[in-house]
Chain A
Amino acid sequence: MKRFKGFITKEFYHIFRDKRSLFILFGMPIAQIMLFGFAITNEINNVDIAILDHAKDINTTEIINKISASKHFNINQYIEKESDIEAIFKKGKIKAVLNFENDFSKKLVKEHQASIQLITDATDPNTANTISNYLNAILIQYQKEINQDITLNYQIIPQTRMVFNPELKSVYMFVPGVMTIILMLVSAMMTSISITKEKELGTMEILLVSPIKPIQVIVGKVFPYIFLSIINAIIIVTLSLFIFKMPIQGSILLLGLESVLFIITALSLGILISTISETQQTAMMISLMGLMLPVILLSGFIFPISSMPLPLQLISNIIPAKWFIIIIKGIMLKGVGIQFIWKETLILIGMTVFFIVLSVKNYKIRLE
């Protein structure tokens, strides 16, 4: 036990004396959560649009006023002719152009229909889509207003309710994802690097020749990262709680326990990586390419798994992050208890055991 304590003290010296690893450990989570929370968002605000109004009559003016009153749009420019449209898109500031046809009001009254052309800059398809949806919503709203006196014969009125995230805040989606990435990164990458570092420096050999047991070496190397990862998880949850007002509907204790489980899963992956890599650089590349990319792309964090092609959906099942994201979304947003997430929990436990068994096997081969 005393040997073990000395080992851990040493490990903390390593971590706290290395500015880079300190930055990754604590700077990164805060920076990421802030980035995802504030900068990267699915909502659009103050999008610059341009108006090409051939009619300039009462209806078009009303529509334009409605649009400019919305916080989502900012009418930046009025243009006079079609040929200007391409030019302003090329400049890049304007993301959408509304083109009202000639005699808009007249046609509306006489022919009961008038058209507006909505052109969006789809270099960023998601934004273009959202802009188009928002503008359509405003137009439908306006249509309703001018049709107030007329009763239609048949009407279908959908009543939409967004449960668990009524305001559709994107931060609700990002917090679980960021937490997963950070815990994965800190736990798996940092441990695999710190273990391979000992191999690379030759100190691992010295440790293996000493009476300290290999298992003690590994646990000693991993232990500080469990501790630091837990602190990170607390930082992330606190930030999302107080800055982004993200609710925790379920039990905090359960959230904590599941997080510790995921940390251990990630650590066991880190150990596995360290058994197959000889240098810190290899360990880092494997962690980044083999863990980070799948976590970001295939875990359902950004891209919904259900809309992936079947092979990718199947692959996503072997990514621990996918299950953890389901678990924390369940606890934080839906407030579910263990009876709804026991399956995911068992999968994570199974994966952890698998990684540990594989590492032990690999480690033995190394020593031969």
Chain B
Amino acid sequence: MSNENVIQVERLTKTFGNFTAVNAISFEVKKGEIFGFLGANGAGKTTAMKMLIGISKPTSGEATIAGFDVYKHAEDIKKNIGYMSQKFALYDDLTVKENIAFFGGIYGLSRKIIKEKSKHLIEELGLVDVANKLVGALPLGWKQKLSFSVSLLHNPKIVFLDEPTGGVDPITRRQFWEMIYKAANQGTTVFVTTHYMDEAEYCDRVSIMVNGKIEALDTPKKLKAQFKVEHMNDVFLKLARHTE
């Protein structure tokens, strides 16, 4: 982890009519950091994330992603980030290889590079036997690991993961987090939203959003000390109750 900030957010706000979904949030994320973005359903996590990845325009505030301004350089941001949504988002009716080739293609990778990466990735994920099978036939855990690898295909500076481990078993979740660590070690910044509080413990730092605001932001260790509890779960519950 270096001291270079790859995400810098200043009083970022999004309103829909009278409703303020995201209320002046500010934070920064360092290069190679695993940043947990926590919050209950409806707290504004997804809206905030959509502004950061350039598919939703902020109402006010500033945000710089990978050195680019979200208002002026949304197209440059797109080239430098990877994204994996909470809905599983590869094509079920394409094979593993075709999915890799397609997503590599839309990120502008050359056919040669796609071929190399595809081979490497399939071997690494242990998908050699099913490389020519339709993705729809794979178990959910495999699909999600594949989906994560695909979002890293173009070596993005930052990868945004929106509840990536929803619905998978604990073993797969563990493996998934190993992949996240590996990516972070190679210098990719990981911005991850999650519901699982044990996963929050794996993050370098976490922020907890309640009703559109960031109510806590620190390392899991410090947060637990601050709230005098054993588990992140209790930090979360205390915060949520506190503001109710």
Contacts and interface: CB of A to CB of B under 8 A. Distances in A.
Interface in B63-92: 75, 78-79, 81, 83, 85-92
Contact of A367 (B55, B86, B89, B101): B55
B106 A211 contact: yes
Contact of A368 (B57, B107, B134): B57
B61 interface: no
Contacts of B57: 368
A7 to B, nearest CB: 7
A6 interface: yes
A202 B105 contact: no
B78 A203 contact: no
A202 B89 contact: yes
Contacts of B93: 13-14, 17-18
A21 B86 CA distance: 28
Interface of B: 53-57, 75, 78-79, 81, 83, 85-94, 98, 101-103, 105-108, 134
B106 A202 contact: no
27 contacts: A2-B108, A3-B106, A6-B101, A6-B102, A7-B102, A7-B106, A10-B102, A13-B98, A14-B93, A17-B93, A202-B89, A203-B89, A205-B55, A205-B87, A205-B89, A206-B89, A206-B103, A209-B53, A209-B83, A211-B78, A211-B79, A211-B106, A211-B108, A212-B106, A367-B56, A368-B56, A368-B57
Interface string A190-206: 00000000000111011
Contacts of A203: 89-91
Which of B75, B78, B89 has its CB near the most chain A CB atoms (within 10 A)? B89
Question: For chain B, what secondary structure do more than half of its interface residues adopt (helix, strand, loop), or is it mixed?
Answer: loop
A208 B50 CA distance: 11
A176 to B, nearest CB: 35
A308 interface: no
Contacts of A10: 91, 94, 98, 102
A3 B108 contact: yes
